[in-house]
Structure 1
């Protein structure tokens, strides 16, 4: 397929396919759903999905804080304007309910049963003055802690699509603009999702363009010829076109992880082309005719380069074996994309090269050989020093890495100075938190329902512990219904919003059926056997929240009688934390798959388990060093950093595979082991160095991203590739030297046969 006529035929096919894609382009769509980071094999996810059906989603909300620019929150004109906004938003399609202090009604029990009274009435100045004294009960929930803003808690319909969420958020903004009020802060899914996607679209184009510019500069510096620049640009451009066409034709939306894919595809493809073009210029310089040089270059290198591409793809494909949908999708399509880009290189590059007049000029060839020769001799002389250095740094990295903590935040991927971060912090400080907190309650065997006095006493103990551990805040629960009813029996007195005495409890029992029907968040099932404690808490991070949650659950284990009350933590924030806590498992799953595949490849190449083991050593060490680097840079372990170990291994092992494949070629030519290692070091060393530089610079581009996952991918992988280069050039030859006796024995046996 690499001779002239077949190459032209394949080139023609590739051009026609590219024209088809341009004539019938797929429609790109961007999406962001943080629920894709939930671990799918976790029983807690299945439990939450049932909880969501029985009660409601805890994530379909929008928090809006309104503040009077004139400074007086309870000014009549400001409240009237807020009420108009509330009515306008409530009528929008997609809004389920809007909870605010403006229309909140509390029950009052009188001679004729239950009636309802507005908490806040601004019909005239007298009523406004009279009811404003009741607001203190709602500070930190519907009124800010500083008393300067009020809250609109908008619950939107569940399962809104990205487009429907964007439309609803735009309509809400229009209502505010029409009434000339600018919210103090906004936080919630439909807002965050839209801002994430806007930033994703901008970065996707930015990194695609920056990667192309980088490739152009790299090609000019390395090959300094027209064909050495134009051919790779055309091939890699078509590779990107085919890859994203396949992804989009398959119906997959581009998400936050997709921002990295253009750079990954272009840089990995370029590193493969550098191997081919380095060999091609060598043959042209040695006087080979162009047609022969092209054919032999692709014939000789495709197996070795294909193996390096395969190991890179395996690094990403191994993410498919994790339990996080976002990582599975990213790993699968990135792995497929890398393989497809390599296929494009094989299909199009030979045909394009046959069209160009080629020359064998290439800068710094002799100088690089001299440098590598001097380096090889230095390594031979200082083997013990090199081994000691690698051993010492690795031990330090293990010590530092062992101190890394697993910790993640809900908005990890956004820059710390992004407006969304500021808005969430405002709700954390003034309204008790922005993160939903859900605890499932179930009646024990010795009570008939959660409204039994004994069950309520257990709930009161639990809420007391929650306030002690998480800080004072409002809870919506079966107990809050009972406290509201107790307040109703005492003419709405805020002081009576407490747990009732047994006598008060007995008097209110006849109103329980009416109580369950009160509008608002559902906190009790129709049979009163199950319920929830719902609130909002600050985003403390999975580490700190995990400690506090463990303290609360330990209290439940010791102090809550399961015969009266059963307790289970749930909710989307909890599932996100569970995802972060599973990083070790996710990383090990990916690495085991990657190690196994690379070991099989090495075993297939050399028919030697010993060489397979040696191949892994210089590629595991950079991963250990990455752990140490993360500790030194203060980078914590989380889902978005744990996956980098598998990805880095898959990319870094390429150079080792290339080195070993070249070594095998030299040995097959009858060279003794030491001479074969030297020739491999000199010839493969330059290509390894060039491809590492390309990969490092390419991934370093990603470190300029505003997204956390993209930034850390660029930073850590680029540094790890430098570690891998050092291991391949300094450590791998030294590890191979002791095999001389075994290899000589094997060679003699083969000659004898």
Structure 2
């Protein structure tokens, strides 16, 4: 299959395919949509989509805080802020802005309803009166103005479900207006800003890791082969594999996202590990005096099955993520899995042909180094044999500790989970959490109970007010917008704007305001009640406290509703995008179990098919499960929390870690096929395969360690945890696997294994 003629044919096909990509270049698109991390099979998502269609998307806003010292009640500052606000209102994709700058309060009198401007800075007397009214009104302090009066909040409500491109244009325009406003102290936070910042960082990191990956590869190849051809051939092969994978993604309409940042490094180290096995085998034949063309053919022919199986198990480890319910993980797993197979194709289609062209016919023996490797592996094998009980005891103790640690690892995640907590974007969101009650949307769906006709019944409104007070205190939320807000505002309007009248009205006052409810509801910043008054929403913001704390608060909310709210008057349900993200993190056990279970079964089937023995395949899987247990121990020691982006790594790590075991067992099968005794075949396998396993593991660990340089949380933890899993797997393969295989020598005909001879 790998004769010179066939290899040149494969190389020609690969080059033609690559040239076609350059002639018909796909459009490079970067994107980040945090809604792609929502679990698609959760009923909460379909409920929220219905809720969103009736009311609005809860995160289509940008928060802007404009600051002034000593306070915002400065005519010059307010004029600058007013000008900026007017310019922002006129921008495309802006539906409205909400702030004290243009807020009007309703006043109901005998002649009907009129609206008075809340903040008037036209003269000192009006400004002083406005300041007094705002300070006395509890619905504004800590909401549209900070408690210390140093910051004015401007809420920009943008077009519903705005596209990434339009959101970028809008934020760029808003940023330009703020920079030219003359106001130096300002903060901003919101989806259109976060998505733009994420994509900008994504583009930088994609280019960075692509460059660093190739630099690392060149260094490793030089250290391993000390030859120009040993660097050039792998670099060309890996470039082909990465180009094919990225092009496939773009051709099929999948943009490059936060998960794609890892692909160049992942594919590079996997492809390089495969090439090292082939090259070592090729050099071994050259040292034995085999002619160059024959050495290339034999090296690739003997190892192609083993390398294919290692790539297949790695690919299936990624593809198993497709069976989770998170769109971003599904597509990352699918395309990375396909990318691993494409990288294998690049290795076997490009590698042999290039070797025929440029590889040397002979190689320096370097017997001293080879002898050192042989001696080192022999000593390690003998030590393992003489200390079997110690090795087994060590693995049992560490695994037992890891099982305990697994029960202690907490499930917790944040909205901006992919960024470090000290990142500038996170700090701006934290500013709004501390000064204005929160940046994270918090939504509740409310519905009239069986004992009432609408939410606008006075008794129902009192139940709703009781619920709002609990939400405000329990979640430490920002100001709340709801049907109660509407009614309290009308009651205040009926009392000449008296701040003390911002409360649930009496029976008589409630009856008098009926004619004004419809018009007043239209003047609210957001829709809070349906046209038939049977359904509504409680909308507020809270800090990004993490899914763990949110889960505890939500449990308390459930208890409060069950004990304090009359279901006949009011039905309540938590909803919103933040709630869906919390659910995503809380479902990590389910997602991890589903992905790992599928990966485990697939790998077990492959191992059973390869070795014709289920007992043998189960024994081989043991050293690859232990590293995953040890990861839990490491996470507990380091304080790493379990979340969606860390849970999926167990499946990926399993698919990669099992590769060394497959190489080991494939070599053992080859030794047995030559008629060697079980124990001698095991010894020869250990001495010859050990070096390749160590080298490939070193390459993989080095490659994945580069990912710890990332600012994205998912990329950082991928590098850290998979690197450690590979180290643990190497220890298990070199120390535990031989001990588990030794008892097979006592099987009379070794029928469990010898039947797998080629």
TM tier, smaller: over 0.9
Shift of 1:452: 0.6
Gap change, CA 1:301 and 1:87, over 3 Å in 2: same
Which one is further off, 635-644 or 9-18? 9-18
1:124 and 2:129 correspond: no
Q: Deviations over 1:631-681 (max 9, x none)?
A: 000100000100010010000000011111111111122222111111111
The secondary structure found in structure 2 opposite 1:256 is coil
Shift of 1:715: 0.6
Match of residue 64 from structure 1: 64
Match of residue 506 from structure 2: 501
Shift of 1:747: 8.2
Match of residue 677 from structure 1: 682
Which one is further off, 232-241 or 88-97? 232-241
Shift of 1:749: 9.8
The secondary structure found in structure 1 opposite 2:519 is helix
Shift of 1:148: 0.3
Shift of 1:472: 6.0
Q: Deviations over 1:140-196 (max 9, x none)?
A: 110012210101100110222211111111111222233222452110011111111
In the TM superposition, 1:353-392 aligns within 5 A as: 353-356=355-358, 357-361=360-364, 364-392=369-397
Match of residue 226 from structure 2: 224
In 2: Cα distance, 1:479 partner to 1:54 partner? 19
1:513 and 2:495 correspond: no
Contact residue 467 and residue 565 of structure 2 kept, 8 A: yes
Q: Deviations over 1:199-251 (max 9, x none)?
A: 11111111111110111111111111222111111111111122211111111
Match of residue 268 from structure 1: 270
Shift of 1:470: 1.4
1:25 and 2:25 correspond: yes
1:723 and 2:728 correspond: yes
The secondary structure found in structure 2 opposite 1:744 is coil
Task: Tell me how many residue pairs correspond in the alignment.
Answer: 750
The secondary structure found in structure 2 opposite 1:455 is helix
Contact residue 672 and residue 744 of structure 1 kept, 8 A: no
Contact residue 433 and residue 537 of structure 1 kept, 8 A: yes
Contact residue 439 and residue 567 of structure 1 kept, 8 A: yes
Contact residue 673 and residue 743 of structure 1 kept, 8 A: no
Contact residue 672 and residue 754 of structure 2 kept, 8 A: no
The secondary structure found in structure 2 opposite 1:675 is helix
Gap change, CA 1:293 and 1:498, over 3 Å in 2: same
1:526 and 2:528 correspond: no
1:424 and 2:429 correspond: yes
- Select which of 669, 673, 678 maps to 1:668: 673
Match of residue 15 from structure 2: 15
In 1: Cα distance, 2:752 partner to 2:398 partner? 36
Match of residue 160 from structure 2: 158
1:597 and 2:596 correspond: no
In 2: Cα distance, 1:346 partner to 1:555 partner? 64
Match of residue 305 from structure 1: 307
Contact residue 459 and residue 479 of structure 1 kept, 8 A: yes
Gap change, CA 1:473 and 1:705, over 3 Å in 2: closer
Shift of 1:19: 2.0
In 2: Cα distance, 1:139 partner to 1:243 partner? 54
Gap change, CA 1:61 and 1:607, over 3 Å in 2: same
In 2: Cα distance, 1:226 partner to 1:540 partner? 53
Shift of 1:411: 1.0
Contact residue 223 and residue 362 of structure 1 kept, 8 A: no
Contact residue 269 and residue 342 of structure 1 kept, 8 A: yes
In 2: Cα distance, 1:85 partner to 1:109 partner? 31
- Select which of 249, 252, 260 maps to 1:250: 252
- Select which of 407, 413, 417 maps to 1:408: 413
In 2: Cα distance, 1:545 partner to 1:132 partner? 36
Q: Deviations over 1:60-96 (max 9, x none)?
A: 110000012x533111111111111111000100101
Match of residue 92 from structure 2: 93
Which one is further off, 577-586 or 742-751? 742-751
In 2: Cα distance, 1:603 partner to 1:459 partner? 61
In 2: Cα distance, 1:748 partner to 1:499 partner? 80
Contact residue 744 and residue 750 of structure 2 kept, 8 A: no
Runs of 5+ consecutive residues of structure 1 not aligned to the other structure: none
- Select which of 185, 188, 191 maps to 1:186: 188
In 2: Cα distance, 1:358 partner to 1:549 partner? 70
The secondary structure found in structure 2 opposite 1:476 is coil
Gap change, CA 1:224 and 1:496, over 3 Å in 2: same
Which one is further off, 126-135 or 432-441? 126-135
Gap change, CA 1:749 and 1:564, over 3 Å in 2: closer
In 1: Cα distance, 2:2 partner to 2:630 partner? 41
Give the alignment's TM-score, normalised by structure 1: 0.98
Gap change, CA 1:745 and 1:705, over 3 Å in 2: closer
Contact residue 402 and residue 630 of structure 2 kept, 8 A: yes
Shift of 1:373: 0.4
Match of residue 551 from structure 1: 556
- Select which of 225, 237, 240 maps to 2:239: 237
Give the alignment's TM-score, normalised by structure 2: 0.97
1:624 and 2:623 correspond: no
In 2: Cα distance, 1:541 partner to 1:747 partner? 51
1:283 and 2:281 correspond: no
In the TM superposition, 1:558-577 aligns within 5 A as: 558-577=563-582
In 1: Cα distance, 2:506 partner to 2:181 partner? 47
Match of residue 212 from structure 2: 210
The secondary structure found in structure 1 opposite 2:51 is helix
Gap change, CA 1:157 and 1:730, over 3 Å in 2: same
Which one is further off, 48-57 or 4-13? 4-13
Gap change, CA 1:473 and 1:236, over 3 Å in 2: closer
Gap change, CA 1:261 and 1:708, over 3 Å in 2: same
In 2: Cα distance, 1:361 partner to 1:734 partner? 36
Q: CA RMSD in A?
A: 1.5
Contact residue 85 and residue 176 of structure 1 kept, 8 A: yes
The secondary structure found in structure 2 opposite 1:10 is helix
